[in-house]
Amino acid sequence: MSVTDLIPAQTSSAMTDPFGRRISYLRVSVTDRCDLRCFYCMSEDMTFLPKADLLTLEELDRLCSAFIARGVTKLRLTGGEPLVRRNVMGLVRSLSRHLKTGALKELTLTTNGSLLSKYADELADCGVKRINVSLDTLDATKFKTITRWGDISKVMAGIDAAQAAGIAVKINAVALKNLNEDEIPALMEWAHGRDMALTLIEVMPMGDIGEGRIDQYVPLSLLRSRLANNYTLTDLSDDTGGPARYVRVAETGGKLGFITPMTHNFCESCNRVRITCTGTIHTCLGHEDASDLRKPLRASTDNDLLNATIDRAIGTKPKGHDFIIDRRNNRPSVSRHMSVTGG
């Protein structure tokens, strides 16, 4: 059976958590595997899930479609690195049918960019209008240090291909103490010079990476105050459905975002849930909460059991996370790696 042969998900009621927040944004990890090994994300000798444990592409399609029928209007595919999943473009093309019906307003993905030059044209043809590319430095040597073996020229070629295909690119950069924090102004000016927004992200205490987080962590409040010494930053009310808060930089004309799970979590407006490549739903990035959607998905050809499980999971969504990084808590707040949860 091909992905496009699937029966459309049944229409059902919208999803609202215990705090009245309507769930309209779904992030789905299609694989925990990645072709890079960024040191703040995973250990060098990562043990990945057996491929047999992953949902099939057909199951991922059905699961996403069920959430779209329940009111999800923004769908982001993540990993690991989503583009390393074999035949992933078949899933993207199938899901694009929801863009054509208007049920889905945006289909997008987060990528490290290393394979983007191969898929940019097809992504654009599937209706993907913007993507996030993770890039923490413009220095080739630093890039190899951060990713352990990555080639920055492949990422740059991917960004070129995406923009040539008409896809808007936003750069995501994790702020890393004593590594790239002094490079942020140059990274921002480069991104804005290419008509790309830049979003800075604080290190998050997820998964055992073989070392503590305290020596990596830079509060973005500190970086913002440094930038404000040389740039005019004006707060914007832009809401892209994610956790970033944006400013306009007068000198470059570009947008700069801050994702601050440690210093200010913005959980009060969270409209997101995440699903792993094994079909586990996490309603909060910073909690160990988990519900298995794979079992009800496989137990019946209709979505009654699946929807009931989704409702129970949404009913446990917490008000906010409790990430902590300090000398007394220099350990993961949650045991799972970001590559498993989906970025």
User: What residue numbers does the annotated binding site for GTP cover?
Assistant: 27, 76, 110, 170, 272-274
How far apart are the two ends of the chain, measured CA to CA in Å?
29
> What pLDDT is stored for residue 260 in this prediction?
84
Which residues are documented as binding site? 27, 34, 38, 40-41, 76, 80, 110, 134, 170, 204, 267, 270, 272-274, 284
Question: CA nearest 188: which of 275, 264, 128, 246?
Answer: 246
Confidence at residue 325, expressed as pLDDT on a 0 to 100 scale: 44
For residue 173, give the nearest of 223, 116, 117 by alpha carbon: 223
Other Cβ atoms within 10 Å of 225 Cβ, number: 11
CA distance to 113, 259, 261, 285, 287, per residue, from 210 (Å): 26, 24, 22, 21, 21
The annotation places the binding site for S-adenosyl-L-methionine at: 40, 80, 134, 204
pLDDT of residue 128: 98
pLDDT per position as a tens digit, 90-102: 999 999 999 999 9
For residue range 292-317, what is the model confidence (pLDDT) as tens digits? 999 999 999 999 999 999 999 999 88
Annotated binding site for [4Fe-4S] cluster: 34, 38, 41, 267, 270, 284
pTM of the model: 0.85
For the chain, list residues with pLDDT below 50: 1-2, 4-11, 206-210, 323, 325-328, 330, 332-337, 339
Give dist(CA 156, CA 113) in Å, integer. 8
Q: How many CA atoms lie within 13 A of 340 on its CB side?
A: 21
